[in-house]
Structure formats: structure tokens, C-alpha cells
Amino acid sequence: MKEKKYAAAYIRVSTDDQIEYSPDSQMKCIAEFAQKNGYILPEEFVFQDDGISGRSAKKRPAFNRMIAESKRKPTPFDAVLVWKFSRFARNQEESIFYKSMLKKNKIEVISISEPVTDGPFGGLIERIIEWSDEYYSIRLSGEVKRGMNEKASRGEAVTIAPYGYKMADKKYVADEKEAEIVRYIFSEFANGASYRDIAMRLNAMGAKTHRLNPFEGRTVEYIINNPVYIGKIRWSLNGGDVCGIHTPIVSAEQWERAQSEALRKKNMYKPCAKKSVNGNVLQGIMRCSSCGGTLIKTGEYLQCGKYTKGVCKVSHSIPYKTAVQAVIEHIGAEFETGGFGIKKRRTDENEEKYFADLIKKEQKKLDLVKKAYENEIDTLEEYKQNKARILKTVESLKIKLDGAEKRGKNTENANKKYENLTAVMCDEKIPDDVKNKILRSFVDKIVYDKHEKSFDFYYYF
């Protein structure tokens, strides 16, 4: 009897693909090929990425699921069917890497529209096809960039419409409702309001961004620094600005006042600007009780990251050293009292002895039922039933005993791991980033409530 062959189908469609590359047309051709060549193509083995470039595998979720599926044992399919090799990958280096990975699992990649002969010449032809696909991709990318550069040089729109504008006839047209908000932002900022203050006011007014999100300080900052609002197009950050064909929303005078204020604020707060910190004991652990945002370290203080952006309305500022000391003292106390489930002495020994004694009792029962059979008290059938029942009970007890032993070892290991925790956290010779890793190994999060002056600890082990 002929052995069944299973196949997976991989379909990829780029945003610039034509009708002939559509998912339906690719799937139709692949299904016909599978049927003609004796492959079974289950629906769960059809993987499809839409509107995604083939230059990198990282941005292709369906492709990555297919690769992960191929690693299962036993191998789930014998081949990956693609319409063209370019659908599999347009980067030759990645193509060779993933094909080699599949080949180790005895999975072949087959292009149904580009038949390749067996042998060394077939492999050479396949490499040439892959090189051609990569060359086409690079060339296409260059053509797109040239086209966009040309549009930008003429002052035409090259990106989606920014806040305050909408797209009409391939150019930016002012959205009057949003344009009023843009003018309000420039006016308030020029009069001394901070990015965060303006964001808070806009959110209180019910204003939303294009993506219907609340305003943040950085959103306001981006608007203040975007020359599109004085009628210019910024296509390259290093290439300067060009005059656009759209109508400005703010005047040149408003723009200059805002830029002067931005420069003043930058110079004023430069000494207090966020520093690049090599280590932070509480990094990623502390949470705001009001919004759940992470508390970030700025200078000598921790503050809710969402508050600094104008999203959270409640300040959770706390001196960094105060927070660290409070955390160390709390965890030390928890450990001493066993508050988070770690005991200093093993309490699992009694549990182990309990299950071991039960197993001994069941083994004695085995001897008794055997003697009952030998003395002709029980029939052979009764002996078999009793023996099977007792052995089943013994097996169940052995599993429970094994679990008790593991729990004992885990508790013992936990004791060794955390008994010197306070000393480690207070040791100035140990870098803060190392201390952070230690904390994150068993602390899920710490919620800080400034109003109550309390810390709620959430652990996992």
C-alpha cells in the first residue's frame, strides 16, 4: 500500500501584489498540485501572511507558526508547497537557512510553478531563482524610494495625513475641527504650558488622536516639532524640509514662538533630563495604583510613566531610595514570617512518611491476597482482580509520594535561594541590574498607592 504524503501550504501576499498573486489564486494552484501529486493538504496546514514583505521572517507570523509546527515529532508534513520560491522568502540568506532547517526534518520546499530537477543542477537553478527574487525585491525597494523622493521634492504628500489634516486628491487638506486643536496646542505652548499639561487639557476636553487614543505629552511634542503645520514637508530627517502644496494651519510667527519656547524648555530642564541608567533595582516592577502604569526612574525619584505623558491624572512620585528601602524591608519581613509561602524548615517530611506508610500497607495486602489464593480461599479470577486493584492503588500513592518529595526539594531550594536575600539587596558591591533580576525571579509586581502610602506585593514561584 502506498504511504500517505502530507503537505503544508504557505501563501504570502505583498501589499503591491497583483490579482495573479492573490491568496485565492495561489491556494487554487497549490490545491490542484497537491491532488495531482498525491499530497494530502489538511486545512490546519494552510499558513497565510497578508500584506507582508518577504524580506524578513521576523514579521511573518504565519510563516513562523509553520516553522514551529514543522519541528514537532513525528514530522507533521512531508513538504511545504508554495506558488513561487519568492513567496517562501525574498532574502536568499533566510531562504537557505529555513530550507536547511526543514530539510533536517526531511521536509521539502516545492515551488509548484518553478519545477526544479533533482541533483546538483536542480539546487543551482533554485539558488539562481532565489537570487533573482532578492534582486527584484531590492530593485523594487529602490524604485519606491525614488518615487517617494520625487513626490517629496514636488511638495506632495508621501505619508498618511498628520493630525489636523485629511487626505483628499492625494494631498493634505485641513480638517477644521482638528486644525483648531492644533492652533490651540501652539498657542498654549507658546504661552508657557508644558507638553504634559496640554495633553491633560485635551483629554479633559474629550479630544482624541487619529487612532482614537488619548493625547500624551510626546504626542503634543511631535505636533510642536512638525513643520507640516507651516506648509512644509519633512521627508528625510537629515535632508531638511521642502515647501509643500498644502495650506498651513499655523502662521510662521506662531511656529517661531513655539520653537523658541521648546528650546527654552529644553535648556531649562536639561540638567534634570532622564539619564541612561545602567541599573535600577525596581525597574519594571513598581506599578501605579491609579492606572497600572509602570513607575520609571527619573533622577532621584520614581514616577508613573503614564503621568509624565499626561495620561494618568494622579502623581505617584516617590524618592527612589525610599522605595527601594521599603521593598527590601517588606520582603525581609515576609520571608521571616513565611508570609509568601516559603518556610524556613521543611514541613513536607510528614507528608512523605504518610504516603510511604500507605504504600507499605498496600504491599502487605498483596501478600495477604496471594496467601488467600494459595490456600484456595479465593479463585484465580478473584486473586487477579484483587491484585490489579491493589497495584493500581500503589501506583497512585507512588505518584503522590513523588510529588511530596519534589515539594520538599523545592521548599529546601527556595530556603537556600532567599535566606540571604536582605543581605544581598543591601550589598553595595552588587550592581542594581543584578538585584533587579533577583527580584524579578519571584516578584511579579509591586503596586504603590501614594494616597494610602502602601505597597501591595504580588509573588510567583
Total Cβ atoms within 10 A of residue 354: 13
56 is catalytic: no
**What is the Cα–Cα distance from 165 to 230, expressed in whole angstroms?**
12
What H or E segment, with its residue span, contains residue 448? strand 443-449
Work out whether the CA dihedral 114, 115, 117, 119 comes out positive or negative: positive
What H or E segment, with its residue span, contains residue 109? strand 108-111
Nearest to 296 by CA among 317, 312, 311, 313: 317
**What is the Cα–Cα distance from 248 to 227, expressed in whole angstroms?**
9
Nearest to 55 by CA among 95, 98, 17: 95
**What is the Cα–Cα distance from 340 to 30, expressed in whole angstroms?**
57
Which residue out of 14, 70, 111, 137 is catalytically annotated? 14
Nearest to 152 by CA among 232, 247, 251: 232
**What is the Cα–Cα distance from 405 to 403, expressed in whole angstroms?**
5
- 156's CB contacts (< 8 A; 6+ apart) are 170, 171, 233, 244, 245
Cβ contact 13:22 at 8 Å: yes
Q: Which residues are catalytic?
A: 14
